[in-house]
Amino acid sequence: MSPDNRAAYYGAGKIFITLQARMRIGQERRVHMFFHREHEKDMRAGKSPGLRKAVLFFALVLVFMTVAGDVSLQAAVPKVTVTKKTLYVGYNSYQIRFKNLAKTATVTYASSDKKVAAVSSKGVIKPVAKGSATVTVTMKQGGKTYKGEIAVTVKDPYISISNKKTKLVASSDYQLIGKAYGLDGAQFVFSTSDVLVAKVDEETGLLHARAAGKAKITMKDKTSGKSVSFTVTVVKATEENAGDVYVTTEEMSKKYVYAAPKDTEGLTEEEAAKVKRLTDIQKRITAGASITIKEMQEYYIQKAADGGK
């Protein structure tokens, strides 16, 4: 290797060390200025900067890789995957899960109220009684200590009609949807206090509004014996509220699915409101719930515009 080349390599090595130190403190702009000054020195000395530039290029690549590695390590902070959790008395426990937790990490758990939510040494939270508690997770990893908290709410098991409607226009067919929380094998049956006002299918929960008046609709779980009720008011159908009559979506084609535009920033308030309405309509169609005649018309107009079948 010629003396010039040795000098170039030696100089590049010094530059690399200097660059690395400066890159670590985020002074990228100074690095570029440093590179420029070294180039000018070579030019004034009448030396070819080619080799030095080549070595500098690879040095910069190594520096960026080093910095990227440092950032990656710094970002890999261990933490719990959830910060809130709802559990039900006598029902399933919850196994705490983590992100970026090393196999060599040491983890301990503590509950603020063991009478509400107990936590085992393996990170399993068991619902004990109705109430609220905070489970604190301490993670020791890489010589550092990290903490995470999970706000636990424990409820009694219950059932609900997730889409109950307290007012319907006569002639509406409204599909009720029952849900169970903290219960397995729920079997719902529906009943009405007045079949002349509102008739409901005992098994499916399809409610048919027949005439003006009020009726109490009850859903009961045959397995647990729990029940829930609400009162529906049926109003007379008129020309003005004809579009508010509910219809079932069971027989609607599921081939077309409305998809909201990805970029909504440029939409007007009216266009954004339309996207929100159509998204809600699609959710109810997918869930097998009912929609109004007015909503069905808007949905089919959009379907035709999208070329849906």
CA dist 252 and 173 (Å) reads: 14
Tens digits of residue pLDDT in 52-85: 555 455 445 444 454 444 444 444 899 999 999 9
- pLDDT recorded at residue 23: 47
pLDDT digits (tens, 9 = 90+) for 162-196: 999 999 999 999 999 999 999 999 999 999 999 99
Residues 290-309: what's their mean pLDDT? 92
Chain position carrying tokens 């159509």: 278
Angle at 66 between CA 61 and CA 70, to 5 degrees: 145
Q: Strand pairing of 173-175 and 206-209?
A: antiparallel
Q: Provide the percentage of residues in the chain whose pLDDT is more than 90.
A: 71
pLDDT band at 2 (very low <50, low <70, confident <90, very high): low
CB 252: neighbour CB atoms within 10 A?
16
Q: Taking all residues of the chain, what is their mean pLDDT, rounded to a whole number?
A: 85
Per-residue model confidence as pLDDT tens digits over 12-25: 555 545 545 544 44
Q: What is the structure's pLDDT at 24?
A: 46
Range 148-163 average pLDDT: 98
pLDDT at 90: 95
How far is residue 243's CA from residue 6's CA, in Å, rounded to a whole number? 87
Whether residue 278 is predicted with pLDDT greater than 90 in this model: the reply is yes
If you compute the radius of gyration of the chain from its CA atoms, what whole number of angstroms results? Answer: 33
Other CB atoms within 10 A of residue 130 CB: 12
- What distance separates the 2 farthest-apart alpha carbons in the chain? 106
**18-50: buried (b, 16+ CB within 10 Å) or exposed (e) per residue?**
ebbebbeeeeeeebeebbeebeeebeeeeeebe
Output the pTM of the full model: 0.70
